Structure 1
């Protein structure tokens, strides 16, 4: 029987793959046979992450880049394609946040968040398109957020980028389905990462609030994203495109 989740021979790029959700997704992809290029701003950290995948029997390389740079985005796609023999899967996970009231942001902070969280996903998707088209198809997985759906009073630019990710996903899905390219979004809920660690220090009540609304009664973990990455990258999701899938322990379903 054919294994619909087998990724043997597939080549993946995971931005922001050095830790957290990105590393969890990279681990899932490598575990099912994909060769993975881990992309991070810190080259040493990216290499350390790639090494953990290789130590577990996976195929992985590390690439250093600032995804807010158009030139870096083009370079890492070309380098990954050369090293791995092509690109079949792109996970647009790299992102950052600055938390403060909307009236306190500078325009430079706004632009930085837009460039890192949203523009990079567009530029990288454009860069992988020729490889996927020539190869007869591919998978793009964009990482949104609960703020793709809900507003956050302390993260207006971040929320704008994640709302944009959702609409970009739908637009690319509609445009590229004819080329066999499926484009979907994953919407993480409250996940225990280094980014949210600082949030819990800054907003002491946030932990209790999250647990109270989340039916699963816990914060998510990076390994909760291994399965969704495999599903959306594999033949099992061949007729799924333009979707936005919450991975949030039921948070968004619990009004």
Structure 2
């Protein structure tokens, strides 16, 4: 019984944006814990490569290319999951993007792109997969947020808005879907070594500012965020719902 609490044998998981960064590390972590993993991202060649590597490592994996900001691709992804593995126990909403600017400098197209990618697509995808999650009777949804949704960062207002909105979506759905056996939680990372921030960290002063504000004095590894996501999916976390777990090296709690 104790061992089963820390395994995902027999579970099926869908991780969006799972060919790079946190999404890739999460897919690998869930697979290592025994789950069958569905890989999806925009580029087919990246999906095929990730699926091939997971299978080579002895894990059960399937994949299909999809841009979850497009309704047609979300429907295609739903059909793929339903036809390939029939059910779904875990959904990790990992897809996200950002354009860092001051409020007054955003073009309306940029604003809508951030909102559509970070917020609308995650809402629509979670809504779409609800029937499969409900049928599981023991499902977990984990939304990948950011500390930018919990406090001010120099990441731009639209990014912070979308992450804050997903925090509230997490809370609402955790109550609304509790009777369906669906737990809904979130993780909020601080700066993590991923392709999304590589360019930003080339600014040595900005990088030093990050370390100064972080008690653990380093960035997170993608695998450290993935471990937190995986924990929230495990039977060991069966009484945890509606929570947002900061994976931030102490950033949020750091005072003067």
TM over 0.5: yes
Q: Which moved more, 1:128-137 or 1:165-174?
A: 128-137
Matches within 5 A, 1:145-164: 145-164=146-165
Aligned to 1:253: 253
Aligned to 1:143: 144
Q: Which moved more, 1:43-52 or 1:96-105?
A: 43-52
Give the Cα–Cα distance (whole angstroms) in 1 for the partners of residues 45 and 76 of structure 2. Answer: 18
8 Å Cα contact 1:142/1:165 also seen in 2: yes
Deviation of residue 74 (structure 1)?
2.3
RMSD: 1.3
Deviation of residue 153 (structure 1)?
4.0
8 Å Cα contact 2:191/2:219 also seen in 1: yes
Unmatched tracts of structure 1, length 5 or more? none
| SS of corresponding position for 1:162 | helix
Give the Cα–Cα distance (whole angstroms) in 1 for the partners of residues 231 and 252 of structure 2. Answer: 21
Aligned to 2:222: 222
Give the Cα–Cα distance (whole angstroms) in 2 for the partners of residues 60 and 22 of structure 1. Answer: 14
Give the Cα–Cα distance (whole angstroms) in 1 for the partners of residues 96 and 69 of structure 2. Answer: 10
Give the Cα–Cα distance (whole angstroms) in 2 for the partners of residues 224 and 249 of structure 1. Answer: 10
Aligned to 1:133: 134
Q: TM-score normalised to the size of structure 1?
A: 0.95
Give the Cα–Cα distance (whole angstroms) in 1 for the partners of residues 75 and 6 of structure 2. Answer: 29
Give the Cα–Cα distance (whole angstroms) in 1 for the partners of residues 226 and 214 of structure 2. Answer: 20
Q: Which moved more, 1:117-126 or 1:42-51?
A: 42-51
8 Å Cα contact 1:10/1:89 also seen in 2: yes
| SS of corresponding position for 1:68 | coil
Matches within 5 A, 1:1-255: 1-2=1-2, 3-201=4-202, 203-255=203-255
Deviation of residue 204 (structure 1)?
3.4
| SS of corresponding position for 2:186 | strand
Deviation of residue 43 (structure 1)?
1.2
8 Å Cα contact 1:5/1:230 also seen in 2: no
- 1:80-99 Cα deviation digits (max 9, x unpaired): 12212311100000111111
8 Å Cα contact 2:98/2:159 also seen in 1: yes
Q: Which moved more, 1:65-74 or 1:107-116?
A: 65-74
Give the Cα–Cα distance (whole angstroms) in 2 for the partners of residues 194 and 134 of structure 1. Answer: 36
Number of residue-to-residue matches in the alignment: 254
| SS of corresponding position for 2:229 | helix
- 1:138-194 Cα deviation digits (max 9, x unpaired): 110000001111123441111111111101111111100111100001001110111
